[in-house]
Structure 1
Amino acid sequence: MSVYRLSCSVLFQKGIRVIRLFRVRLLLCGLLCLFLYLPVSVYSQDSQRNIFVKYIQGTIILDGKLDEPEWQTAGKGGNFWQFFPSDSARAMNNTEFRLMYNDNMLYIGIRAEAKSDNFIVSSLRRDFGGTSNDNVTLMFDTFKDGTTAFLFGMTPYGVQREVFVSGGGSQRNSFNNSWDQKWQVESTMHDDYYVLEAAVPFSSVKFREGEKTWRVQCYRWDMQTNEQSAWARVPQNQMLSSLAFMGTMEFEKPLGKSHTPFTIIPYMNTLASKDYSTDSKDSKFSIGGDAKVAIGNSMNLDITVNPDFSNVEVDDIFTNLTRFEVFLPEKRQFFIDNNDLFGSYGDAYGSANPFFSRRIGLARDASGNMIENRIIGGVRLSGKLNDRWRLGFLNMQTEEDTDNEIASNNNMMFTMQRKMFARSSLGFFAVNRQTFGDYDFLDPENEYNRVLGLDYNLASADNSWTGKFYVHKSLQPDDTKGNYSWQTTATYNPRKFKAVIDLRYVDEDFRADLGFIPRVGIFKSGNEFNYIFYPSGGKISRHSPGARAVYYWRPNMDWKQTDRTYSLLYDINLANQSSLRLNLSNEYVFLTRDFDPTRTLGAVPLPGNEDYSFNTFSVDYQSNPAKVFSFSVESEGGGYYNGHSFTAGTELTYRFQPWVLLSLNTRYDALRLPDPHADADFWLVTPKVDITFSKSVFWSTLVQYSNQRENLGINSRLQWRFAPLSDLYLVYNDNYFTKDFGPKFRSINLKISYWLNI
């Protein structure tokens, strides 16, 4: 070992011993105080942009023309600022939006100028992707807290999307596209502009009775000019959807009650399936449904009985070369509304979350395999108590399955959040997973698991300061001491640079049965710095060199360092919306146990209790998504433990817009390890065809092939939206073994659901 490495090791060990001298509670309290009293700046947009919202007595007939006399006197917002490729100029093509309302409806009128009538719309399917469609979007922050908002987007063809925005709109996971509401849009397209006319019922959003102002943002993706623009100016180092940058809409008279109806959503489902591995057939007929009850203007009570999620899109398969579990997003509608109230606790980067709703309805059988565990029913109460407090309560009961040694469990979470300062919040939660009944197969230590926690989310008014502080504690039978998890992380992101510091600790005995905790018994330290350049003109819109260092120590191994990553990064964003990322990394891993990355039956694993050091280099390129043909390419190569690895992946997309979308995802991973360890060649191929016959009839077919999982899966789904938020689904699933090709599991189901307001 070199003198340099020895010195660094000694310094790290001494530093860790110094850290251990401080009591955890004192450290956490100090960091909390630091976060609470960080200076907050004022909104840095060209504040405050205002729009007057006129009250009207009658109703508007939606036809996409804006020819009613009321539109001529409605309040207007225009003169948009560019966000991309520059944030210091006015938009090239003018966009104007108008707002007015009556007792039941908020009306939106939009006129968007364009270069030609060659509008880019990739699909007629609802909940379109904003980055590949011409569209205009409005966000309404009805409680003016800068943390949550209701988003309504429209394309020139009148295709709709509605999104519940959380987390201040400042992260990639801030958008919840599974949130559905009833509203209407009509459009007309012309040679050099298009017009949108929309009506959003007040019953589709939550707000405080008697309110006279909301915060609002309107932004546009103009694919013909590769331009993104916004009414309230947004600096380019932030996300266009950030709720820190909004204007104000002032209603002519105070808002009344939302008159939200009582909603029942019954369903019927027939399913026929065959498991070829056991040569067994099954057929089922099930009924159930959901109910939505409005409590005041700001709270929702959701009830579900015998829920069925067979219509939900299948999860994307993936190749996993790591030692850890991979996070998959929640797609089931019942868990979506106000999901940030329940799912935003824990690690800011998604690696230690005490509640993960996907755990409900899944369980491991006696052999350790993950299988479906039927949900009997549940309730969820969520929403705003007032402009400062939010409340959430969820309780779900799952069915016992004694044949597979699965107990019936009650799954509960309670949470309260209070807004702090401009856009920050302080939240408390309690999670409880409790077994119902006595079971011979159940270990006493698994009778229950409880997690209590406190989280502080930092977000300054202009979003230049963001951060997270939390401390959580788990409780199990005869195990109440220690069991802590905590994090403190802060990001400072002014216009020209970004700096991140992150500290996280997860005790070895910390448990969250309803959470996502891929690693326990670790102390993590991470730092990152990026400097951002904004060239004036030219082909490059922004480029940013950076560096990152991440360390993991194991406290139960005398604070031994088990993982370390040093990375040099370079991000380049081009004016045509394409992007390039370069990453050079040095990795160090100390394996605490044997590990076979190929997951090959009978293979000799890499030996544990040894350290490995290697270098990797990766390149990622994304072409302009506005083009009819677009693609992304990723490649990574270099060392891999005591061998080498190579990865190449592509995603190809072609549109016969707006009717047909074809895509092909491929990924190849090659592992070359020295004898006696196994080599591996993993292929992941996922072609997809998405056909939209109209704005109410859709057909998609997804094929997923993975030789690592030894599975070829086919999912074909026909959907007819025969009434607002009411659907008929025909879903066909087929799975095959890939090694000795043959059928594995096959099913077909027909499901109908109807959204009924009472």
Structure 2
Amino acid sequence: MSKTLLYTFLISMSMLPCYGQDLVYQIKKTNIPIKIDGVLDEAIWEQVDVAHNFFQYFPNDSSEAESQTEIRMTYDDQFLYFSAKMYNKSEDREYVVPSLRRDFDGSQIDAISFIFDTFQDNTNAFQFGVNSYGAQREGMMAGGFGGTSWSWDNKWYAEAKQYPGYWIAEGAIPFKSLRFKEGKDQWNINFFRQDSEFGEQSTWNKIPRNFSITSLAFTGILQWDQPLKKPGSNISLIPYVAGETSRDYVNDNQSGPESKMNIGGDAKIAISSGLNLDLTVNPDFSQVDVDQQVTNLDRFELFFPERRQFFLENADLFSNFGHPYYAKSFFSRRIGIVRDTVSDPNNSRVIPNKILYGARLSGKLDNNWRLGLMNMQTEALEDINLPGYNYSVAAIQRKVFARSNVGAIFVNKQSFDDLNDNPNFDPSHFNRVLGFDYNLATADNKWVGKTMYQQSWDSDTLDSEEYAHALWIAYKGRKWEVEWAHTIVGDNFNAEVGFVPRNGLFRIENILARNFYPKNGIVNFHQTQLYLETLWGDTESSGQTVKSDQVMSINEYLQFQNTSEFSISLGKRFTYLFNSFDPTNTDGQPLPADSHYDYYYVWARFDSDERKVFSYSVVGQAGQYFNGNRYRLGGELSYRIQPIAAFNINVNYNKLIMPDPYNNADLLLIGSRIDLTMTKKLFFTSFLQYNTQAENFNINTRLQWRFKPVSDLFIVYTDNYATMDTNQEFNLQEKNRALVIKLTYWLNL
């Protein structure tokens, strides 16, 4: 297929008529005060329109919901109010709620969620949820495929109360917490309910099961009785003060504990009803959850998602450019860390690089245009002659046709510091990336895809192979799913503020899947999938292009009526090593460069019914591994004391048996999490991780008191121990320790 025919096809798919806007909710303004308490005793709730007759999404999507729901909404000058009445099949039942923590997660709990596509672009939306104990969650949806980032935080109010045969949620969302266009009289909306009694999921506007329950291709209309007005000045200040005491036992064992105080904060300024300016000065991220460790048997860098609050609103506008795994234009986790090019001769030591300030302007200009501008400045590390860097990002996105968009991004990294004694620092050095994306999403959501092109250049430009390109196209039908993708990353493509784990590759990926929906029996849904991925690259020794990696597998996925799941995969891998590599990642004898390996494996996983107080998952793998064998057994156990406590332990054990002279390895990773939610305002989390591959034992505990909406006191304790001594015998040795107390306050002006 020629490029001209391909792009013609993509455009024609984008222009298909819009689906799923069958239902309309008429909302009217009220002057009656509403108390948010889960008790519907205000007269207005008897006078407003009712959204009811919910449709089943799971276990079937061909009938009305067994447990019905009624939604009512109204508004005044400051708030959008909602109430939801969730009926049960039985009067006396136990609700499934793992904890009272904000931003709860899980598909098998009792909750009601509201989706507001305020610009009616069918690709971006806000989601607000309340569970049966009144815990809240809020998130931002982007891209139109149904994914939600729960890290976005904002101020709103909700309560829930349980009654015989039903439960009620009531809430108030300030218009200042939303982004919308002044003068509009319509939004796109949908509601979905999770009911644990029968494992049922249901929606107001019907959504086919082969799409996400939060798909923005299938929404109703929220019809306002008058055009919306700008909610007035919208400025929020979020100052913080933090005290920290820490000690590094490895690099500075004699100096004793070090104490410091940090003061800084953020500001949110609404430039318009859709465009927001975020400012930060001396940001502190000490309260952010630690990354969950993994056993790394890969040759390339692993990807860990962004968790820092400042980078999360409209994050997709910056971070979704490029390929998500092979060539991301911008990866915000590159900001705030730097490689030590002075004291570490291998350039492998990564150290924190304090952010001095940052600004981000992002949001909607109108129904079709989105804009993102960001600038961040980090501090110079004068004691080791590492400079501070300035990071600038500009992104723009235009909606085209029903749900597709085109966009461009520009990323610049350079230092404005003067020359110092660091021989690796060149004040004239810069790195820049210019990228273009086209994201396809047809109105009926059956065709999705993406094509992108990126070009990098810097002061050390090599004038060739400094580009990356990818194309992905997928058909998501009810019975059949077909995907094609190819990716090219040039030898010299360099995105220093992006994520590019490997250069010089050409990749093709193909997927063919058949979906089945049994009418009877214990299996609710199953899918059979054929998968093929092949990568090519140029060898360093000869410069010839050879096949470097290949995965061929047949995969089966089953979902049962009780919501448990089972997956199994039979596969074959091929690997050609361009460089020597120790497959155990334990600094043993490496396999030689220019060697290649074929190996077969079987992989399986089972996840039990999460509605039970005790739930578990088990994963196993057995088969060949390079020139040896790999056996993996892992799993997770979860137990909850509802709704105040949840206990979790996960184990991952890998046994690698390699022929002489290569290392055998027994790699064990154990993590445990204790989550206590004494109230909806007081939370305690303890997270332990033991990793034999990294020879590290980590303790992270966090106490959070939300004394006012979005205002918190955090007490965070972190401890890291080395687990092996110089004789490679188990011996806990202190590496570093820190105690942080942080107070944040959200102030609306």
TM-score for the superposition, normalised by structure 2: 0.95
Q: Are 1:339 and 2:315 an aligned pair? A: yes
Q: Deviations over 1:424-459 (max 9, x none)?
A: 000011000012222442354982110001100000
Could you tell me which residue of structure 1 aligns to residue 728 of structure 2? none
Q: Secondary structure at the match of 1:70?
A: helix
The residue type equivalent to 1:578 in the other structure is S
Could you tell me which residue of structure 2 aligns to residue 509 of structure 1? 492
Could you tell me which residue of structure 1 aligns to residue 651 of structure 2? 666
- The structural deviation recorded for 1:403 is 3.1
Q: Contact 1:122–1:132 (CA<8 Å) still a contact in 2?
A: no
Q: Contact 1:131–1:626 (CA<8 Å) still a contact in 2?
A: no
Q: Are 1:133 and 2:109 an aligned pair? A: yes
* Deviation beyond 6 Å, 4+ runs, structure 1: none
Could you tell me which residue of structure 2 aligns to residue 746 of structure 1? 737
- The structural deviation recorded for 1:471 is 0.4
Check 1:541–1:445 CA distance in 2 against 1; reply closer, same or farther (3 A cut). Answer: farther
Aligned equivalents of 1:684 and 1:117: distance in 2? 38
- The structural deviation recorded for 1:540 is 1.1
Q: Secondary structure at the match of 2:164?
A: coil
Deviates more, 1:428-437 or 1:501-510: 428-437
Aligned equivalents of 1:53 and 1:475: distance in 2? 53
Aligned equivalents of 2:204 and 2:312: distance in 1? 29
Could you tell me which residue of structure 1 aligns to residue 128 of structure 2? 152
Could you tell me which residue of structure 1 aligns to residue 278 of structure 2? 302
Aligned equivalents of 2:604 and 2:43: distance in 1? 56
Q: Contact 1:583–1:617 (CA<8 Å) still a contact in 2?
A: yes
Q: Secondary structure at the match of 1:748?
A: strand
Q: Are 1:407 and 2:398 an aligned pair? A: no
Q: Contact 1:445–1:477 (CA<8 Å) still a contact in 2?
A: no
Could you tell me which residue of structure 1 aligns to residue 675 of structure 2? 690
Could you tell me which residue of structure 2 aligns to residue 22 of structure 1? none
**Where do residues 203-352 of structure 1 align in structure 2 (5 Å cutoff)?**
203-277=176-250, 278-279=252-253, 280=255, 281-347=257-323, 349-352=324-327
- The structural deviation recorded for 1:29 is 6.3
Query: Given the alignment, which residue of 39, 49, 58 partners 1:75?
Result: 49
Aligned equivalents of 2:4 and 2:470: distance in 1? 12
Aligned equivalents of 2:382 and 2:597: distance in 1? 44
Could you tell me which residue of structure 1 aligns to residue 518 of structure 2? 535
Query: Given the alignment, which residue of 51, 57, 63 partners 2:31?
Result: 57
Could you tell me which residue of structure 2 aligns to residue 420 of structure 1? 400
Q: Deviations over 1:336-364 (max 9, x none)?
A: 100010011111x4332110101100111
Q: Deviations over 1:565-622 (max 9, x none)?
A: 1110111111111111110111111100100122334x21011101100001100111
- The structural deviation recorded for 1:709 is 0.5
The residue type equivalent to 2:544 in the other structure is D
Query: Given the alignment, which residue of 365, 376, 394 partners 2:340?
Result: 365
**Where do residues 160-171 of structure 1 align in structure 2 (5 Å cutoff)?**
160-170=136-146
The residue type equivalent to 1:140 in the other structure is F
Q: Contact 1:142–1:215 (CA<8 Å) still a contact in 2?
A: yes
Aligned equivalents of 2:568 and 2:51: distance in 1? 40
The residue type equivalent to 2:68 in the other structure is N
Q: Deviations over 1:453-511 (max 9, x none)?
A: 11000000111000010000000114144411000110101111110000110001001
Q: Secondary structure at the match of 1:55?
A: coil
For structure 2, the 5+ residue unaligned runs are: 726-731
- The structural deviation recorded for 1:310 is 0.5
Could you tell me which residue of structure 2 aligns to residue 552 of structure 1? 535
Query: Given the alignment, which residue of 546, 553, 563 partners 1:577?
Result: 563
Q: Secondary structure at the match of 1:532?
A: strand
Q: Deviations over 1:217-257 (max 9, x none)?
A: 10011011111110111111111011111110101111100
Check 1:623–1:79 CA distance in 2 against 1; reply closer, same or farther (3 A cut). Answer: same
- The structural deviation recorded for 1:260 is 4.7
Q: Secondary structure at the match of 1:436?
A: coil
Could you tell me which residue of structure 2 aligns to residue 642 of structure 1? 627
Q: Contact 1:162–1:180 (CA<8 Å) still a contact in 2?
A: yes
The residue type equivalent to 2:286 in the other structure is S
- The structural deviation recorded for 1:404 is 3.5
Q: Are 1:612 and 2:597 an aligned pair? A: yes
The residue type equivalent to 1:293 in the other structure is I
The residue type equivalent to 1:361 in the other structure is G
Aligned equivalents of 2:15 and 2:325: distance in 1? 26
Query: Given the alignment, which residue of 476, 491, 495 partners 2:474?
Result: 491
Could you tell me which residue of structure 2 aligns to residue 93 of structure 1? 67
Aligned equivalents of 2:400 and 2:14: distance in 1? 13
Q: Secondary structure at the match of 1:130?
A: coil
Q: Contact 2:614–2:638 (CA<8 Å) still a contact in 1?
A: yes
For structure 1, the 5+ residue unaligned runs are: 1-18, 20-26
Aligned equivalents of 2:677 and 2:512: distance in 1? 44
Give RMSD over aligned pairs.
Answer: 1.5
Q: Secondary structure at the match of 2:679?
A: coil
Q: How many residues align?
A: 727
Aligned equivalents of 1:586 and 1:473: distance in 2? 34
Aligned equivalents of 1:71 and 1:431: distance in 2? 50
- Give the helix-richer structure, 1 or 2: 1
The residue type equivalent to 1:95 in the other structure is T
Q: Contact 1:523–1:555 (CA<8 Å) still a contact in 2?
A: no
Q: Secondary structure at the match of 2:322?
A: coil
- The structural deviation recorded for 1:732 is 0.5
Q: Secondary structure at the match of 2:582?
A: coil
Query: Given the alignment, which residue of 470, 479, 487 partners 2:452?
Result: 470
The residue type equivalent to 1:60 in the other structure is I
- The structural deviation recorded for 1:739 is 0.9
The residue type equivalent to 2:226 in the other structure is K
- The structural deviation recorded for 1:40 is 4.3
